[in-house]
Amino acid sequence: MSHWRRLTWALGLLFTVLVGGTIGYLVLGFGLVDAMYQTVTTVATVGFRELRPLSTVGKFFTMGLILVGVSSTLYAFSVLIETLIEGRLFDTLGRRRMERTINSMQDHVIICGWGRVGRSIASEVSDARKPLVVVDSAADRLADCPYPTVVGDATQDAVLTKARIERASALIAAVDADAANSFIILSARAMRPDLFIVARARSFDSEEKLRRAGADRVVNPQHIGGARMAAFVLRPHVAEFVDVVMHDRNLEFRLEELLIGPSSPIAGKTLRDARVRDRTGALVLAVREQQGVLRTNPPADTTIEAGDLVIAIGTEAELRDLAALVES
């Protein structure tokens, strides 16, 4: 039984004793106010005299009320003190504040799994100033989580609902077991067919299964880590440049992806006519069309349509100008 439920049960028991004592004294001939007063003074053991002489039955009833009432009062008092001392009440109030925070979120990222991979993902998402919610079934693991959290099994629809999946922009299934990630993907995809889902795979055999379950992207951390280590050996300077551009927030140049808005002034134009480099200073590296085709190093006659995704490199100011241009 949780601390909060114990406290509710203890207070309910004390209230029942008080009501029962009042009814008992009413039966013994006391008025309503006198019965309530006699019950409270008896349970509190303040030592006041009886308001009226008690019969033998009344004396036995009073003795029983003292035993039950004092026990109930001490139990309720001890649970209340324990709740306050151990911070259970403050934890509950903090949880409610966190729930209100999560309920107000929009376009956030749901990260399922607070392990080493989940912590790394959360750090990157937070550095990008993107709101996020962490979901994990173990409350003790979430004790040191600095982000809004939901305790529960992410494979359950109710838990994803608490994380406000209906307003999320993306979900990352990063728990340890591939089977659990598959169930998370299936649940999330059923609730939000349009949601962008990224899944973690522990084995190569699971990657295709996770895609069939509904993941838009599947990442194998061991494979990615091995490829990066090999790249540092084979092409160290290139690998270092890409690594710094992607992860160093203090670097002048950054990579960014931007969606062409329906009212963008460059929608329907070629890269040559749009003059993106001249107007913003940013360099377009690739264009992903709505159909999913990725055109790297696109030629100048590539037509940019509304709904296409532009991948560009530039300074923060240049990318900001480009965002204002393509998202208009």
Write down the architecture of domain 252-326 according to CATH. 2-Layer Sandwich (3.30)
Q: In this model, does residue 76 exceed pLDDT 60?
A: yes
Share above pLDDT 70 across residues of the chain, in percent, rounded to a whole number? 91
Domains of the chain by residue range: 3-86, 105-219, 252-326
Q: What is the largest CA-CA distance in the chain?
A: 106
Of residues 45 and 110, the one with the higher pLDDT is: 110
Q: What is the pLDDT of residues 146-203, one digit of tens each?
A: 999 999 999 999 999 999 999 999 999 999 899 999 999 999 999 999 999 999 998 8
Q: What single-letter amino acid sits at 94? A: G
Residue 229 pLDDT: 82
Instruction: Determine the length of the chain.
Output: 328
- DSSP letter at 55 equals -
pLDDT confidence tier of residue 320, bands split at 50, 70 and 90: confident
Burial of 202 (0-12, 13-18, 19+ CB in 10 A): middle
Q: In this model, does residue 40 exceed pLDDT 90?
A: no
How far apart are the C-alpha atoms of 33 and 19, rounded to whole Å? 12
| Topology classification of domain 105-219 | Rossmann fold (3.40.50)
pLDDT confidence tier of residue 328, bands split at 50, 70 and 90: low
Of residues 49 and 36, the one with the higher pLDDT is: 36
Average pLDDT, the chain: 85
Residue 86 pLDDT: 63
Residue 260 pLDDT: 87
Q: Are 113 and 136 in contact (CB under 8 A)?
A: yes
Q: Are 38 and 30 in contact (CB under 8 A)?
A: yes
Query: Measuring CA to CA, which residue among 169, 174, 166, 168 is closest to residue 123?
Result: 174
Q: What is the pLDDT of residues 218-269, one digit of tens each?
A: 998 887 878 878 877 888 877 777 776 666 555 567 778 888 888 888 888 8
Write down the architecture of domain 3-86 according to CATH. Orthogonal Bundle (1.10)
CA 68 to centroid of chain Cα atoms: 44
Of residues 93 and 213, the one with the higher pLDDT is: 213
Residue 222 pLDDT: 80
Q: What single-letter amino acid sits at 171? A: L
Residue 75 pLDDT: 86
